[in-house]
Amino acid sequence: MAWIETVLKTYPPIAVFIALAFGYWFGKFNYRGLGLGAVTSTLIAAVAIGQFNIPISPMVGSFFFLLFLFAVGYGVGPQFVRGLAKDGLKQALFAVVVCLLCLGSVWLAARLAGYNAGTAAGLFAGSQTLSASMGLATDSINQLAITVEEKRHLLNEMPVAYAVTYLFGTVGSAIILALLGPKLLRVDLAKECADYEASMGGMDHNASGDLAWHPYELRAFQVGESTKVSGQTVSEIEHLFPHGGVFIERVRRGSQVMAAKGDMVVQTGDVLAITGSRHILIDIIGTHAKEVDDRELLSVPMEGIDIFITSRAISGKTIAEIAKMPEAHGVFLCRIARGLTGEEIPLLPKTVVQRGDVLSVSGRTADTSIAAKAWGRVDRPGSVTDVMTLALAITIGCLVGAVTIRIGSIPLTLSTAGGALIAGLITGWLRSIHPTFGYIPTSTVWFMNSVGLNVFIAGVGIASGPTFVAGLENLGAGIFLWGMFATTLPLVLSIFIGKYLFRFHPAILLGACAGARTTTAALGMINEIARSQVPTLGYTVTYAVGNTLLTIWGMVIILLMT
């Protein structure tokens, strides 16, 4: 044991890697999406290692924390700016209200319990499950006009309060929103989601007339004498299906194979290569036309691609409106991913597509290429990060954040951490408009997001390890109860505010609450109970705003408490 202690004290980075290894290993265990997670597990492992009194340079944690904050802003930038601008203004305002409730509940709990600023910051981070707020709180504490020993005391109490309150912050949020929420609203969530889908143009998937986003096939059918489509144009035949999703790709006439054009008149004996959902091709077309095996006709290049949406031509339009555009011909929409977390958005006719969304489409290579050119660009996985833009943006953000304005004895500053967050927001938004610069691969964003935060947390845990047990004894069980209060109060109030003041549909209200509180675990439970992805429609904009404001509140809670 003495040898291990000597090695760790001599080579402190080893302690960080051990904390990360155990943190990620323990963090992967969960039940129905609920668990400690990598952050809390890393903190616990770091505190245990910190009992050896290992010296850790704060510079390591600061560097990775700036990368983390930039990645957060980079990921939510498009939704954050759009939400504040127009598209999601109502949801953005709701998120602001929820974030103020979260801040107010923690401030009230800390005042009533007599906690200091460090404990209040940990209480906020744990009860609201936003570990990133501790970074801005740390910066703010370091700028206070107090002694070094007083600063160290505040910083050591912060992770104690965080660790004790985080578990209920995660589990309690999911229970309150997913299980208690529908009862408070007095609704059947599954039924409300089904009704919402119907109002958005959804339908029973087993009904006649499938939708364009169903899995498709390419088959060949011969036009017989009894077939009513003989003498009609290709466009007229495609419009026979009211819900779309049927496209004539090629036509064989005798020995000649031709590309199908909208004004081409179909004749008896022609063989048509048709793409569409299997239900339509087999149950509808197959009952009126003879299917043939024509390998030459069916030899059509097909592909599935992801399109990163940047064009104003389709931003703000519904799926149904986009389906009628010329460039949508022959293109099948399979999935829409939105936001930093890549949440899957329900594919309903009235679902609105936004800039920054990633549309997974499939179809003929020629058709998907036309769609990609008109709507944005093909989002092909890359491996090279635009490090120049990343580093320059963080530098500028930190320089702006380093500016301090004093009002009396109170220093007001964004801090370098807040500057990095805002730099990420601006860079992410600009990239959604001009995707020619600032590319960061998804895997790199994940690394900056996850590992960046956890390296910072590991440093905090190791540094506070020697005083953690004493701090826990000093705070007692009361900190857990105050954490329950600070978690529960804003969520319950937000449910009623969303229902009566903002008048959100029950199907998206709980998703909006989960987004504003940035609790992904709760969203998973809500969707499971709803048996639908509809609650996600309320999650993305509120998540972007909530993630930003709750992080900044780590600095604000210190100002309020001092």
- Four-CA torsion 181, 183, 184, 187, nearest 10 degrees: 90
Paired tokens of 39? 């952050």
Residues 6+ apart with CB under 8 A from 117: 141, 144, 154, 557, 558, 561, 562
- SS3 at position 529: helix
Contact between 508 and 543 (Cβ < 8 Å): no
pLDDT tens digit string along 259-276? 888 889 988 889 998 887
Q: Is the pLDDT of residue 204 over 80?
A: no
Residue 96, Cβ density class (10 Å: 0-12 exposed, 13-18 middle, ≥19 buried): middle
Contact between 112 and 529 (Cβ < 8 Å): no
Query: Average pLDDT of 308-327?
Result: 86
The pLDDT assigned to 205 comes to 40
Query: Average pLDDT of 104-122?
Result: 95
Rg (CA), the chain: 28
Helices (H) and strands (E) in the chain, counts: 22, 12
Q: Is the pLDDT of residue 208 over 70?
A: no
The position carrying tokens 């969707």 is: 527
What's the pTM? 0.76
Least confident segment among 57-71, 199-213, 524-538, 540-554: 199-213
Percent of the chain with pLDDT over 90: 30
The pLDDT assigned to 86 comes to 61
Residue 299, φ and ψ in degrees, nearest 5: -80, 75
Q: Is the pLDDT of residue 85 over 90?
A: no
Distance CA 272, CA 258 (A): 10
Paired tokens of 213? 């986003």
DSSP states along 126-161: HHTT-TTHHHHHHHHHHTSSS-HHHHHHHHHHHHHH
pLDDT tens digit string along 535-550? 988 888 898 889 899 9
Q: How confident is the model at residue 97 (pLDDT cuts 50, 70, 90)?
A: very high
pLDDT tens digit string along 446-470? 899 889 888 988 988 888 888 787 8
Distance CA 557, CA 487 (A): 16
Distance CA 340, CA 448 (A): 12
pLDDT tens digit string along 330-373? 888 888 888 766 778 888 888 889 888 889 888 888 888 899 99
Domains and CATH numbers, the chain: 1-58+90-196+452-561 (no CATH), 225-288 (3.30.70.1450)
pLDDT tens digit string along 411-431? 667 778 888 889 998 998 888
Contact between 126 and 118 (Cβ < 8 Å): no
For the chain, the residue count is 562
